[in-house]
Amino acid sequence: MDPTRLTHITVCLRPFRAAGPRLDVQTIAGKRVVHNYGHGGSGWSLSWGSAAIAARNAMQDGHRDIAVIGCGALGLTAALTLQRAGARVTIYASERLPLTRSARATGTWSPDSRVADLAQVTPQFPALWEAMARHSYAAHRSYVGLPGEPVSWSDRYTLLESNAARHVPAPGAIHFAEYDERIDDIVPHSRSLTRAEHPFPVDRVRQGVSMQFNVAELGHRLTEDFLIEGGHIEQLIFRSPPDFARLKQPVIVNCTGYGARALMKDESIVPVRGQIAWLAPQPEVRYGVYYRGISVLPRPDGIVVQDTGTEMTGYDIADETPDRAEAERAIATITTLF
C-alpha cells in the first residue's frame, strides 16, 4: 500500500432510484420501450437477472428485431440475453463499455447496494429483487475459471475495532434496502478469526469469500461474445425520447443507467458519487480488506482503494471530478495496516 503506486483516480455516479430499478414498458415515438435502468450500486451484480426481465418484456409480442440503448453492464447483458432467446440485436450507444460508468465500478458482488429506499418500494419488490439476484449469481458463476478471470472469488477480511464510534444516521437519511438474508443460502458465509489466525493490528476480524468482477476482462468478454454471436454495435447519441423514432427496430430496451436522468428527464434517478484510487496491479495479492470505512480490492487491472463512508456518502452529488486529497486519505488509512 505505497501511495507512490497511485496510477489514476476514477469517479462513478451510481444511478439510485428510490423505488428500485425501472423495469416498466412504455410506447414512445411509436416504439415499444422496455426500461432497464436505475440499479444504484448493484448494476453488475443484478445485471443478468434484470436482463432476463427486460428480455421477456421486449419479446412478449413475438418481436425478434430489437434495439438496446446503452453499452454498459445492463446493456451488454440484456443484448446477450435477447440474442440467446433468438432475437436480432443491435446496441446503440454513445460510448462502448471502457468509457461507460459501468467500467468505473468497484467490481464486487453487491446486489443490494443502494438498490432502493426501503420506505419507497412496493410490497412485491423484495421478491423481485431476490429473483434477479439468484438469476444473476448463477449466471456470473458460469464465468468463473475462464481465461482472464472475468469473474473470480477472493478472500475478504473485515477489520473491526472495539473503540470504533457507532454510526448514527443523520436526520432524514435514506434507509437503503438490505436484502442479504433472502439469498443467504447461496453465498459463502464469513467467520470470526482468532488473534492467532490473522496479522492485523485490530481486535476483531471476520473472514469470508466473495465474488468479484474483473470489469475490464468481463466487459471485453461480454462484448466479444455479443459480436461473435452476430450482434452489432453502432455509435449513436440520443438527446430526448423522440430520437427513438430514428431506429428501425420496433422494440427498444433502454439501458442508459445514470444517463436516463437527462435522456428521459427522469428526476427519480439520483446520483450517488463514488471514487476509486487505483494502485498499480500486484498479481500476488488475492484478498480484499475493509477497515475504517475503506475498501481495498485487488483486481488484475489494479488495486482498488475506495472510501465507502456511510450509505449517504456521495448521495445527490453529481460531480465526477477526481478528488486527489480523498484518494490520498484513503490510501493513508490502509497503509497503517502494513
Q: pLDDT averaged over the chain?
A: 97
Q: Which domain holds residue 88?
A: 3-335
Alpha-carbon gap, residue 79 to 68, rounded angstroms: 6
- CB contact at 8 A, 277 and 330: yes
Please state, in angstroms and rounded to a whole number, the distance separating the CA atoms of residues 192 and 113.
23
d(CA 306, CA 7): 14
Q: Between vectors from CA 262 to CA 259 and to CA 265, what angle results, nearest 5°? A: 125
Contact assessment for residue 34 and residue 25, using Cβ atoms and an 8 Å cutoff:
yes
For residue 170, pLDDT over 80 is answered with: no
Distance CA 207, CA 154 (A): 11
Mean pLDDT, residues 311-315 taken together: 93
What angle do helix axes 73-84 and 43-58 make, rounded to 10 degrees? 40
Tell me the three cell numbers of residue 25: 414498458
pLDDT greater than 80 at residue 177: yes
What distance in Å separates the CA atoms of residue 127 and residue 130, rounded to the nearest whole number?
5
Contact 50, 35 (CB under 8 A): no
SS3 state at 179: coil
Give percent of the chain above pLDDT 70: 99
Confidence of residue 163 (pLDDT cuts 50, 70, 90): confident
Condensed to tens digits (0 to 9), the pLDDT of residues 90-138 reads: 999 999 999 999 999 999 999 999 999 999 999 999 999 999 999 999 9
Are the beta carbons of 23 and 55 closer than 8 angstroms?
no
Question: pLDDT at position 167, please?
Answer: 66
Decide: residue 131, CB within 10 A, 0-12 exposed, 13-18 middle, 19+ buried. middle
Among 82-91, 106-115, 163-172, whose mean pLDDT is lowest? 163-172
Residues 6 or more apart whose Cβ sits within 8 Å of residue 156 = 190, 207, 208, 209, 210, 287, 288, 289, 290
| pLDDT at residue 255 in the model | 99
The DSSP line for 103-118 is GGS--B--TTTT--BT
Q: Which three cell numbers, joined as nine digits, stand for 11?
A: 469517479
pLDDT at 132: 99
Confidence at 13, pLDDT banded by 50, 70, 90: very high
pLDDT band for position 311 (cuts 50, 70, 90) = confident
pLDDT over threshold 70, residue 169:
yes
Task: Report pLDDT digits (tens) over 219-274.
Answer: 999 999 999 999 999 999 999 999 999 999 999 999 999 999 999 999 999 999 99
Q: How far, in Å, CA of 190 to CA of 255, rounded?
A: 34
DSSP alpha helix (H) spans, 238-320:
260-263
Q: Are strands 65-69 and 88-93 parallel, antiparallel or unpaired?
A: parallel
CB atoms within 10 A of CB 120: 15
Q: Give how many domains the chain has, as a whole number.
A: 1
